[in-house]
Amino acid sequence: MKIKKTDLNTLRELGKKYAEIASLEIQNERILRYKATNSLEIVRPVVLIDEVPWGEIKADELRNTCAPELGWIEDRLRRNLYQWNHFQVDLVIPPIFRVYKKIKYLEGIGVSVEEDQIHTPTGTYISSHAYKDQLQTEEDLEKLHPPKIMYDRESTEVDLDIARAVFDGIMEVELSGVEYLSEHIWDDISRYRGVENLLLELATRPEFMHKTAEKFTEIKEGLFTQMEEQGLFGHSPVTLHCTAGATNELPADDFDGVTARKKDMWGRCSAQIFGSVSPEMHDEFDLPYNQRLFSDCGLLYYGCCEPLERKIGYLRKRFKNLRKISITPWADCKMAAENIGSDFVLAAKPNPAFVATYPFNPAPVEKEIEQFCEACVKNNTPLEFVIKDISTIANRTENLTRWAETAERVIDRFF
Give per-residue pLDDT as tens, 269-290.
999 999 999 999 999 999 999 9
Average pLDDT, the chain: 96
Peptide bond into 382 cis (omega under 30): no
Beta bridge partners of 97: 173
* 140-158 pLDDT, tens digit each: 999 999 999 999 999 999 9
Beta bridge pairs of residue 267: 181, 300
CA-to-CA dists, residue 167 to 17, 84, 256, 405, angstroms: 11, 20, 27, 33
d(CA 237, CA 338): 29
Q: Is the pLDDT of residue 176 over 80?
A: yes
Q: Looking at residue 351, which CATH number applies to its domain?
A: 3.20.20.210
Residue 127 pLDDT > 70, yes or no?
A: no
Neighbours of 248 (CB within 10 A): 9
Residue 119 reports pLDDT greater than 90: no
CA distances from residue 387 to 23, 184, 185 in whole angstroms, order as listed? 26, 20, 24
Q: What percent of the chain has pLDDT over 90?
A: 94
Q: What does the pLDDT read at residue 227?
A: 97
Average of per-residue pLDDT across 56-68:
96
Residue 118 pLDDT: 67
User: How far is residue 336's CA from residue 327's CA, in Å, rounded to a whole number?
Assistant: 7
Mean pLDDT of 202-210: 97
Query: What element of type H or E holds 268?
Result: strand 266-269
Cβ-Cβ contacts under 8 Å for 337 (sequence gap 6 or more): 346, 372, 375, 376, 378, 379, 381
Gap between the Cα atoms of 99 and 177, Å rounded: 8
Burial of 256-274, coded b for 16+ CB within 10 Å and e otherwise, reads eeeebbbbbbbbbbbbebb
Query: Residues 116-132: what's their mean pLDDT?
Result: 69
Mean pLDDT confidence for 293-306: 97
User: For 52-59, what is the mean pLDDT?
Assistant: 95
Instruction: Quote the number of domains for the chain.
Output: 1
**Looking at residue 117, what is its pLDDT?**
72
Q: What is the pLDDT of residues 218-250, one digit of tens each?
A: 999 999 999 999 999 999 999 998 999 999 999
Can you give the pLDDT at residue 193? 94
Per-residue pLDDT at 327: 98
- pLDDT tens, 357-398? 999 999 999 999 999 999 999 999 999 999 999 999 999 999
Cα distance between residue 371 and residue 171, in whole Å: 42
State the Cα–Cα distance between residues 58 and 317, nearest whole angstrom.
48
Q: Tell me the average pLDDT across 99-121.
A: 87
User: Is pLDDT at 125 greater than 70 in this prediction?
Assistant: no
Residue 40 CB: number of other CB atoms within 10 A?
15
Residue 96: pLDDT above 70? yes
The C-alpha atoms of residue 215 and residue 223 are separated, in whole angstroms, by 13
Provide the pLDDT confidence category of residue 120 given band limits of 50, 70 and 90: low
pLDDT of res. 113: 86
Structural domain harbouring 284: 5-412
Q: Which of 66, 79, 98, 397 is nearest to 245 (CA)?
A: 98
